[in-house]
Amino acid sequence: MSDLMETRKVFFVGAGAIATAMGNVLSRKDDMDVTLITIEKEVADAINTEHINRKYFPNLSLEQNLKASTDFSLLAQESLVFIAIPSVVAVNFLTNQVIHPRSIIVNLAKGFGNGHQTIVELLTRQLPNPVCALKGPSFAREIINNQPTAFTLGAADPQLFSIFQQVFRNTSLYIDFTTDTRGVEILSILKNIYAIAIGVVDAQFESPNLKFMIFTKALSEMRHLLLIFGGKKKTLFNYCGIGDFALTALNDLSRNRTLGLLIGKGFFTDNISEKVVLEGRIAVNIFYKELEEKGIEPDEYPIMDELYKVFNQSYDISSFVSKLINHQH
Protein backbone atom coordinates (compact mmCIF):
# COMPACT_ATOMS: atom_id res chain seq x y z
CA MET A 1 0.00 0.00 0.00
CA SER A 2 1.45 3.36 -0.97
CA ASP A 3 1.81 6.18 1.53
CA LEU A 4 -1.39 8.20 1.36
CA MET A 5 0.39 11.30 2.59
CA GLU A 6 2.43 11.43 -0.61
CA THR A 7 -0.71 12.02 -2.67
CA ARG A 8 -2.69 14.16 -0.22
CA LYS A 9 -5.79 13.71 -2.37
CA VAL A 10 -9.08 13.49 -0.50
CA PHE A 11 -12.43 13.06 -2.24
CA PHE A 12 -15.87 13.10 -0.65
CA VAL A 13 -18.54 11.39 -2.73
CA GLY A 14 -21.40 13.72 -1.92
CA ALA A 15 -21.62 17.35 -0.85
CA GLY A 16 -24.18 17.09 1.93
CA ALA A 17 -23.82 18.19 5.52
CA ILE A 18 -21.31 15.61 6.76
CA ALA A 19 -19.16 15.74 3.60
CA THR A 20 -19.06 19.54 3.63
CA ALA A 21 -18.28 19.68 7.35
CA MET A 22 -15.49 17.09 7.31
CA GLY A 23 -14.11 18.35 4.01
CA ASN A 24 -14.00 21.87 5.40
CA VAL A 25 -12.03 20.72 8.47
CA LEU A 26 -9.51 18.75 6.41
CA SER A 27 -9.08 21.54 3.87
CA ARG A 28 -7.66 23.73 6.63
CA LYS A 29 -4.52 21.58 6.45
CA ASP A 30 -1.96 22.80 3.94
CA ASP A 31 -0.98 19.25 3.00
CA MET A 32 -4.54 18.23 2.02
CA ASP A 33 -6.17 18.59 -1.41
CA VAL A 34 -9.89 18.16 -0.66
CA THR A 35 -12.70 17.98 -3.23
CA LEU A 36 -16.41 17.30 -2.77
CA ILE A 37 -17.79 15.43 -5.77
CA THR A 38 -21.52 15.85 -6.28
CA ILE A 39 -24.25 15.43 -8.87
CA GLU A 40 -25.63 18.85 -7.87
CA LYS A 41 -23.97 21.38 -10.17
CA GLU A 42 -25.43 24.41 -8.42
CA VAL A 43 -23.98 23.22 -5.10
CA ALA A 44 -20.54 22.68 -6.65
CA ASP A 45 -20.61 26.06 -8.40
CA ALA A 46 -21.50 27.92 -5.20
CA ILE A 47 -18.73 26.19 -3.23
CA ASN A 48 -16.15 27.03 -5.88
CA THR A 49 -17.17 30.63 -6.58
CA GLU A 50 -18.74 31.85 -3.34
CA HIS A 51 -17.25 29.36 -0.84
CA ILE A 52 -20.66 28.52 0.55
CA ASN A 53 -22.94 25.50 0.53
CA ARG A 54 -26.32 27.19 0.32
CA LYS A 55 -28.25 23.94 0.68
CA TYR A 56 -26.73 22.78 3.97
CA PHE A 57 -24.80 25.67 5.56
CA PRO A 58 -26.19 28.83 3.94
CA ASN A 59 -24.87 31.17 6.62
CA LEU A 60 -21.34 29.85 6.91
CA SER A 61 -18.30 30.67 4.79
CA LEU A 62 -16.23 27.65 3.79
CA GLU A 63 -12.47 27.39 3.55
CA GLN A 64 -10.98 28.87 0.39
CA ASN A 65 -9.10 25.62 -0.24
CA LEU A 66 -12.21 23.46 -0.26
CA LYS A 67 -13.20 22.56 -3.83
CA ALA A 68 -16.21 20.90 -5.41
CA SER A 69 -16.76 19.13 -8.73
CA THR A 70 -19.35 17.18 -10.69
CA ASP A 71 -16.60 15.16 -12.41
CA PHE A 72 -16.60 11.66 -10.93
CA SER A 73 -13.72 10.62 -13.19
CA LEU A 74 -11.51 12.30 -10.56
CA LEU A 75 -11.91 9.09 -8.57
CA ALA A 76 -9.47 7.43 -10.95
CA GLN A 77 -6.71 9.21 -9.02
CA GLU A 78 -5.14 7.51 -6.01
CA SER A 79 -6.82 9.09 -3.01
CA LEU A 80 -8.76 8.73 0.19
CA VAL A 81 -12.43 8.40 -0.80
CA PHE A 82 -15.13 9.14 1.76
CA ILE A 83 -18.62 7.84 0.95
CA ALA A 84 -21.15 10.45 2.10
CA ILE A 85 -24.28 9.61 0.10
CA PRO A 86 -27.41 7.74 1.26
CA SER A 87 -26.76 4.10 2.15
CA VAL A 88 -29.46 2.77 -0.19
CA VAL A 89 -27.62 4.08 -3.27
CA ALA A 90 -23.99 3.98 -2.11
CA VAL A 91 -22.97 0.52 -3.37
CA ASN A 92 -24.51 0.75 -6.83
CA PHE A 93 -23.13 4.22 -7.32
CA LEU A 94 -19.58 3.42 -6.21
CA THR A 95 -19.30 0.19 -8.18
CA ASN A 96 -20.25 2.05 -11.35
CA GLN A 97 -17.35 4.48 -10.99
CA VAL A 98 -13.71 4.01 -12.02
CA ILE A 99 -11.82 4.11 -8.73
CA HIS A 100 -8.05 3.86 -8.44
CA PRO A 101 -7.29 0.35 -7.12
CA ARG A 102 -5.00 1.70 -4.39
CA SER A 103 -7.44 4.28 -3.09
CA ILE A 104 -8.76 3.75 0.42
CA ILE A 105 -12.55 3.83 0.64
CA VAL A 106 -14.18 5.07 3.83
CA ASN A 107 -17.87 4.52 4.47
CA LEU A 108 -19.61 7.33 6.35
CA ALA A 109 -23.14 6.23 5.37
CA LYS A 110 -25.24 4.62 8.10
CA GLY A 111 -27.53 1.89 6.87
CA PHE A 112 -27.64 -1.36 4.96
CA GLY A 113 -26.54 -1.56 1.35
CA ASN A 114 -28.38 -3.77 -1.09
CA GLY A 115 -30.37 -6.46 0.68
CA HIS A 116 -29.28 -7.26 4.22
CA GLN A 117 -25.52 -6.77 3.89
CA THR A 118 -23.47 -3.82 5.10
CA ILE A 119 -21.96 -1.33 2.68
CA VAL A 120 -18.41 -2.27 3.68
CA GLU A 121 -19.09 -5.98 3.06
CA LEU A 122 -20.63 -5.36 -0.34
CA LEU A 123 -17.87 -2.99 -1.51
CA THR A 124 -15.13 -5.31 -0.24
CA ARG A 125 -16.55 -8.10 -2.39
CA GLN A 126 -16.85 -5.95 -5.51
CA LEU A 127 -13.77 -3.71 -5.39
CA PRO A 128 -10.04 -4.42 -4.93
CA ASN A 129 -9.65 -1.45 -2.58
CA PRO A 130 -9.29 -1.51 1.18
CA VAL A 131 -12.71 -0.51 2.54
CA CYS A 132 -13.29 0.70 6.09
CA ALA A 133 -16.01 2.24 8.24
CA LEU A 134 -15.86 5.56 10.07
CA LYS A 135 -18.70 6.13 12.53
CA GLY A 136 -19.19 8.04 15.75
CA PRO A 137 -21.15 10.74 17.61
CA SER A 138 -20.78 13.36 14.93
CA PHE A 139 -23.37 15.99 14.08
CA ALA A 140 -22.20 17.91 11.02
CA ARG A 141 -23.11 21.26 12.56
CA GLU A 142 -20.66 20.62 15.39
CA ILE A 143 -17.90 19.47 13.04
CA ILE A 144 -18.09 22.49 10.77
CA ASN A 145 -17.92 24.74 13.84
CA ASN A 146 -14.65 23.00 14.72
CA GLN A 147 -15.95 21.29 17.84
CA PRO A 148 -13.86 18.25 18.90
CA THR A 149 -15.53 15.20 17.39
CA ALA A 150 -14.66 11.50 17.65
CA PHE A 151 -15.10 8.57 15.28
CA THR A 152 -14.32 4.87 15.34
CA LEU A 153 -12.33 3.56 12.40
CA GLY A 154 -13.27 -0.02 11.61
CA ALA A 155 -10.80 -1.70 9.28
CA ALA A 156 -9.48 -5.21 8.70
CA ASP A 157 -5.94 -3.87 8.33
CA PRO A 158 -4.60 -2.21 11.52
CA GLN A 159 -2.06 -0.29 9.41
CA LEU A 160 -4.90 1.93 8.21
CA PHE A 161 -5.18 3.39 11.71
CA SER A 162 -1.81 5.12 11.46
CA ILE A 163 -2.75 6.56 8.06
CA PHE A 164 -5.93 8.10 9.44
CA GLN A 165 -4.12 9.38 12.49
CA GLN A 166 -1.91 11.35 10.09
CA VAL A 167 -4.89 12.56 8.08
CA PHE A 168 -6.73 13.87 11.16
CA ARG A 169 -3.67 15.12 13.05
CA ASN A 170 -3.91 18.78 14.07
CA THR A 171 -7.64 18.93 13.36
CA SER A 172 -10.72 18.78 15.60
CA LEU A 173 -11.35 15.17 14.50
CA TYR A 174 -10.22 12.25 16.69
CA ILE A 175 -10.41 8.49 16.17
CA ASP A 176 -10.17 5.19 17.96
CA PHE A 177 -9.79 1.86 16.16
CA THR A 178 -11.14 -1.66 15.90
CA THR A 179 -10.77 -4.50 13.42
CA ASP A 180 -14.45 -5.29 14.07
CA THR A 181 -15.65 -3.51 10.94
CA ARG A 182 -18.93 -5.40 10.90
CA GLY A 183 -19.62 -4.38 14.48
CA VAL A 184 -19.01 -0.72 13.63
CA GLU A 185 -21.45 -0.94 10.72
CA ILE A 186 -24.11 -2.86 12.66
CA LEU A 187 -24.00 -0.45 15.61
CA SER A 188 -24.39 2.53 13.28
CA ILE A 189 -27.65 0.98 12.07
CA LEU A 190 -28.95 -0.24 15.43
CA LYS A 191 -28.50 3.14 17.08
CA ASN A 192 -30.95 4.69 14.61
CA ILE A 193 -33.59 2.10 15.48
CA TYR A 194 -33.31 2.57 19.21
CA ALA A 195 -33.18 6.36 18.91
CA ILE A 196 -36.69 6.16 17.46
CA ALA A 197 -37.87 4.34 20.58
CA ILE A 198 -36.34 6.93 22.92
CA GLY A 199 -38.08 9.63 20.87
CA VAL A 200 -41.44 7.91 21.38
CA VAL A 201 -40.85 7.74 25.13
CA ASP A 202 -39.86 11.41 25.37
CA ALA A 203 -42.89 12.46 23.31
CA GLN A 204 -45.25 10.80 25.78
CA PHE A 205 -43.53 11.28 29.15
CA GLU A 206 -41.32 14.02 30.54
CA SER A 207 -39.60 11.61 32.89
CA PRO A 208 -35.81 11.21 33.09
CA ASN A 209 -36.32 8.08 35.19
CA LEU A 210 -38.43 6.45 32.52
CA LYS A 211 -36.22 7.65 29.68
CA PHE A 212 -33.15 6.03 31.13
CA MET A 213 -35.01 2.87 32.05
CA ILE A 214 -35.81 2.44 28.35
CA PHE A 215 -32.33 3.67 27.39
CA THR A 216 -30.84 0.85 29.49
CA LYS A 217 -33.18 -1.71 27.94
CA ALA A 218 -32.20 -0.40 24.50
CA LEU A 219 -28.49 -0.77 25.24
CA SER A 220 -29.09 -4.33 26.41
CA GLU A 221 -30.92 -5.21 23.19
CA MET A 222 -28.21 -3.56 21.10
CA ARG A 223 -25.51 -5.57 22.88
CA HIS A 224 -27.29 -8.87 22.24
CA LEU A 225 -28.07 -8.05 18.63
CA LEU A 226 -24.51 -6.88 18.00
CA LEU A 227 -23.27 -10.35 18.99
CA ILE A 228 -26.01 -12.21 17.09
CA PHE A 229 -25.15 -10.33 13.90
CA GLY A 230 -21.41 -10.92 14.06
CA GLY A 231 -19.98 -7.97 15.96
CA LYS A 232 -17.79 -7.97 19.07
CA LYS A 233 -19.11 -6.91 22.46
CA LYS A 234 -16.24 -4.52 23.18
CA THR A 235 -17.05 -2.47 20.07
CA LEU A 236 -20.04 -1.10 21.98
CA PHE A 237 -17.49 0.83 24.05
CA ASN A 238 -15.81 2.47 21.09
CA TYR A 239 -16.99 5.90 19.95
CA CYS A 240 -19.31 4.20 17.44
CA GLY A 241 -21.19 2.45 20.24
CA ILE A 242 -22.65 4.04 23.35
CA GLY A 243 -21.49 7.54 22.36
CA ASP A 244 -23.13 7.49 18.93
CA PHE A 245 -26.31 5.93 20.32
CA ALA A 246 -26.60 8.53 23.08
CA LEU A 247 -26.05 11.38 20.63
CA THR A 248 -28.70 10.04 18.25
CA ALA A 249 -31.24 9.10 20.92
CA LEU A 250 -31.03 12.15 23.18
CA ASN A 251 -30.42 15.13 20.90
CA ASP A 252 -33.17 16.83 18.88
CA LEU A 253 -30.86 17.33 15.88
CA SER A 254 -31.25 13.59 15.23
CA ARG A 255 -33.63 12.65 12.41
CA ASN A 256 -34.46 9.27 13.94
CA ARG A 257 -35.19 10.73 17.36
CA THR A 258 -37.40 13.28 15.57
CA LEU A 259 -39.26 10.45 13.87
CA GLY A 260 -39.81 8.89 17.31
CA LEU A 261 -41.16 12.18 18.64
CA LEU A 262 -43.60 12.38 15.72
CA ILE A 263 -44.74 8.80 16.28
CA GLY A 264 -45.13 9.34 20.02
CA LYS A 265 -47.28 12.44 19.49
CA GLY A 266 -49.46 10.62 16.98
CA PHE A 267 -48.31 12.68 13.99
CA PHE A 268 -46.55 9.90 12.09
CA THR A 269 -48.06 9.01 8.72
CA ASP A 270 -46.84 7.17 5.63
CA ASN A 271 -46.62 10.54 3.91
CA ILE A 272 -44.02 11.75 6.42
CA SER A 273 -41.91 8.63 6.01
CA GLU A 274 -41.88 9.00 2.22
CA LYS A 275 -40.49 12.53 2.40
CA VAL A 276 -37.55 11.83 4.72
CA VAL A 277 -34.82 9.23 4.27
CA LEU A 278 -34.78 7.52 7.65
CA GLU A 279 -32.35 4.62 7.92
CA GLY A 280 -33.83 3.45 11.19
CA ARG A 281 -37.27 2.81 9.74
CA ILE A 282 -35.86 0.64 6.95
CA ALA A 283 -33.50 -1.17 9.32
CA VAL A 284 -36.26 -2.26 11.71
CA ASN A 285 -37.81 -4.43 9.02
CA ILE A 286 -34.46 -5.90 7.97
CA PHE A 287 -33.40 -6.86 11.49
CA TYR A 288 -36.84 -8.28 12.27
CA LYS A 289 -36.77 -10.54 9.22
CA GLU A 290 -33.18 -11.56 9.91
CA LEU A 291 -34.13 -12.65 13.43
CA GLU A 292 -36.97 -14.76 12.04
CA GLU A 293 -34.62 -16.35 9.50
CA LYS A 294 -32.21 -17.23 12.32
CA GLY A 295 -35.04 -18.94 14.19
CA ILE A 296 -35.09 -16.28 16.93
CA GLU A 297 -38.44 -14.99 18.14
CA PRO A 298 -38.38 -11.20 17.64
CA ASP A 299 -40.38 -10.69 20.84
CA GLU A 300 -37.20 -11.61 22.71
CA TYR A 301 -36.25 -8.04 21.75
CA PRO A 302 -39.35 -6.11 22.78
CA ILE A 303 -38.25 -2.65 21.61
CA MET A 304 -37.43 -3.95 18.14
CA ASP A 305 -40.63 -5.99 18.15
CA GLU A 306 -42.86 -3.06 19.10
CA LEU A 307 -41.27 -0.75 16.54
CA TYR A 308 -41.84 -3.35 13.84
CA LYS A 309 -45.53 -3.38 14.78
CA VAL A 310 -45.63 0.43 14.75
CA PHE A 311 -44.34 0.53 11.19
CA ASN A 312 -46.24 -2.45 9.80
CA GLN A 313 -49.50 -2.87 11.70
CA SER A 314 -52.39 -0.86 13.06
CA TYR A 315 -50.96 0.18 16.42
CA ASP A 316 -52.17 2.06 19.49
CA ILE A 317 -49.08 4.16 20.18
CA SER A 318 -50.35 5.07 23.66
CA SER A 319 -49.59 1.50 24.72
CA PHE A 320 -45.97 1.52 23.46
CA VAL A 321 -44.24 2.41 26.74
CA SER A 322 -46.39 0.22 28.98
CA LYS A 323 -45.69 -2.79 26.77
CA LEU A 324 -41.94 -2.22 27.09
CA ILE A 325 -42.12 -1.76 30.85
CA ASN A 326 -44.30 -4.79 31.46
CA HIS A 327 -42.66 -7.15 28.98
CA GLN A 328 -41.71 -10.45 30.59
CA HIS A 329 -38.57 -12.22 29.27
Going from the N-terminus, what domains does the chain have, and what CATH number goes with each? 4-179 (3.40.50.720), 182-326 (1.10.1040.10)
How far is the CA of 92 from the CAs of 68, 85, 87, 122, 177, in angstroms? 22, 11, 10, 10, 27
Is the entire prediction scored with pTM above 0.85?
A: yes
Single out the catalytic residue among 9, 67, 191, 217: 191
**The pLDDT value given to residue 291:** 94
- Per the DSSP assignment, residues forming a β-bridge with 112 are 118
110 part of the active site = no
Pairing state between β 80-83 and 104-107: parallel
**The pLDDT value given to residue 275:** 41
Closest to 170 measured CA to CA, from 10, 63, 9, 28:
28
Residue 46, CA atoms < 13 Å, CB-side half-sphere: 18
**The pLDDT value given to residue 280:** 66
CA distance 40 to 45: 9
Using DSSP, state whether 300 is helix, strand or coil.
helix
- What does the buried/exposed string (b/e) look like for 189-211 if buried means 16 or more CB atoms within 10 Å of the residue's CB? bbbbbbbbbbbbbbbbeeeeebb
Q: In sequence order, which residues have a C-beta less than 8 Å from that of residue 34 and are 6 or more positions away? A: 10, 11, 12, 23, 26, 27, 65, 66, 67
**The pLDDT value given to residue 2:** 47
Q: In sequence order, which residues have a C-beta less than 8 Å from that of residue 324 and are 6 or more positions away? A: 197, 214, 217, 302, 303, 306
| Per-run averaged pLDDT (10 residues), the chain, 329 residues | 61 97 96 96 97 95 97 97 92 94 95 83 95 98 97 97 96 98 96 95 96 97 96 97 97 90 81 52 88 94 95 92 85
**The pLDDT value given to residue 112:** 85
Closest to 279 measured CA to CA, from 192, 177, 216, 166:
192
* Side chain identity at residue 36, one-letter code: L
